[in-house]
Structure 1
Amino acid sequence: MDVKKIVVVVEDVDAARTALQWALRNIIRYGDIITLLHVYHSTRSRSRSKARVLRLHGFKLALSFQDMCNNYPNTKVEIIVTEGDQQGSKIAAMVREIGASLLVVGLHDCSFLYKLRMSDSHNSIASIFNCRVLAIKQPRAWAVRPMISAVSVLDTSTNLDFSLIDVSRSQVAGTPPPKIPYRICPNPSAIIWRSRKCRRW
């Protein structure tokens, strides 16, 4: 059985956590290697202490993602925390260097996928990362009951092309009021009995 290298982007958003949980339940197999990749943003100041704080926060965040993986046995997890930009070019470079076969991303409004696509409009998302990209769409806050659908997305406004897992939710219909049993004979003493004499012909 081929061992797959799967990179999961670590971000401090619910969509990233949902993406990891979905991947663990649906696509991670025995022997696959999961790389938790967190890229903290470069600071304009040259303060080493500030960069150290950002790196430490990134490691703590990645460790919380690793705790989620520990609930699933036989998973091999490694953590990479590095400095980079907000456009996603550093993430793309790391994914190509790792030689990943799949990239799992939590898709949200400020996702780096949109910024990366706008900065590199000549290449497709898959060719930029040199692997398949699986984006998990962020569920809505009012969601109650899950309904999962997998589609291939091509956004005409940004020409995004990747596999999208839409973890959308549907509202549960309101509970109907309990039925009141109809009493056919609520009070037998209230019934007036009439007897008729049979006529003889």
Structure 2
Amino acid sequence: MDVKKIVVVVEDVDAARTALQWALRNIIRHGDTVTLLHVYESTRSRNRTKARVLRLNGYKLALSFQDICNNYHNTKVEIIVTEGDQEGTKIATTVREIGASMLVVGLHDCSFLYKLEMGHSHNSIASIFNCKVFAIKQPRVSSVRPMIPAESVLDSSTNMDFSQIDVSRLQVPPTPPPKIPYRICPNPSAIIWRSSKSRGK
């Protein structure tokens, strides 16, 4: 059996956690290696304290994702926390360096996949990462649609070629109670006649 290297992008959004849980239940098998990848935003400030805090927070976030993996036995987990852009270029470079066979991403309104697709319209998403890409979309809890930044809005001509999976629960319709057959002519011998003597006043 081939051992797969699967990269899961770590972000502080519910969609990313849902994507990890989906991968653990559906595609990760015994012997596979799961790499939890978090890219924190580059800072132009010369103050190293800010970069150190961002890196520390990134590790804490990745460790919380590792706790989810600990519920599944025989899962090899690696953590990579690195500095880079938020447009997906650093993630794509790291995924290619690892030689991953699969990338799992939680798809949300501000996902880097949208920005990456718009910036590399001449290339497919799969060719950018050199592996299969699964974007897991979490169902909305609220009916109110949040505001989407202009740079992440896709026009109708954009062709997203990765696998988008919508995770939602199936609504099972209520089962009607079984019908009781009506006996038109019951067995006369099954009828018990009961007579009572009239009481005198």
Give TM class, smaller chain.
Answer: 0.7 to 0.9
Matches within 5 A, 1:148-167: 156-167=156-167
Measured in 2, the distance between the counterparts of 1:46 and 1:62 equals 25
Displacement of 1:91: 0.1
Residue by residue over 1:133-155, the C-alpha shift from the partner in whole angstroms, topping out at 9 and shown as x without a partner, is 00000221159xxxxxxxxxxx8
- CA RMSD across the alignment: 2.2
SS for the counterpart of 1:161 is coil
TM-score norm. by structure 1 comes to 0.77
Displacement of 1:118: 0.8
Residue by residue over 1:31-79, the C-alpha shift from the partner in whole angstroms, topping out at 9 and shown as x without a partner, is 0000000000111212100000000000000000000000000000000
Measured in 2, the distance between the counterparts of 1:75 and 1:173 equals 36
Measured in 2, the distance between the counterparts of 1:109 and 1:71 equals 29
SS for the counterpart of 1:168 is coil
Measured in 1, the distance between the counterparts of 2:157 and 2:110 equals 16
More strand per residue: 1 or 2? 1
Which amino acid in 1 is paired with 2:46? R
Unaligned stretches of 5+ residues in structure 2: 144-154, 175-201
Matches within 5 A, 1:43-58: 43-58=43-58
Displacement of 1:173: 7.6
Displacement of 1:156: 4.4
Residue by residue over 1:112-166, the C-alpha shift from the partner in whole angstroms, topping out at 9 and shown as x without a partner, is 00001111111000000000000000221159xxxxxxxxxxx843221101111
Aligned residue pair count: 165
Identity of aligned residues (%): 82
Matches within 5 A, 1:145-184: 156-169=156-169
1:32 match: 32
Say whether the 8 Å CA contact 1:4–1:33 is kept in structure 2: yes
Say whether the 8 Å CA contact 1:88–1:116 is kept in structure 2: yes
2:107 match: 107
Say whether the 8 Å CA contact 1:7–1:37 is kept in structure 2: yes
Would the alpha carbon gap of residues 2 and 56 (structure 1) be closer, same or farther in structure 2, given more than 3 Å must change? Answer: same
1:84 and 2:84 matched: yes
SS for the counterpart of 2:105 is strand
Measured in 2, the distance between the counterparts of 1:69 and 1:3 equals 17
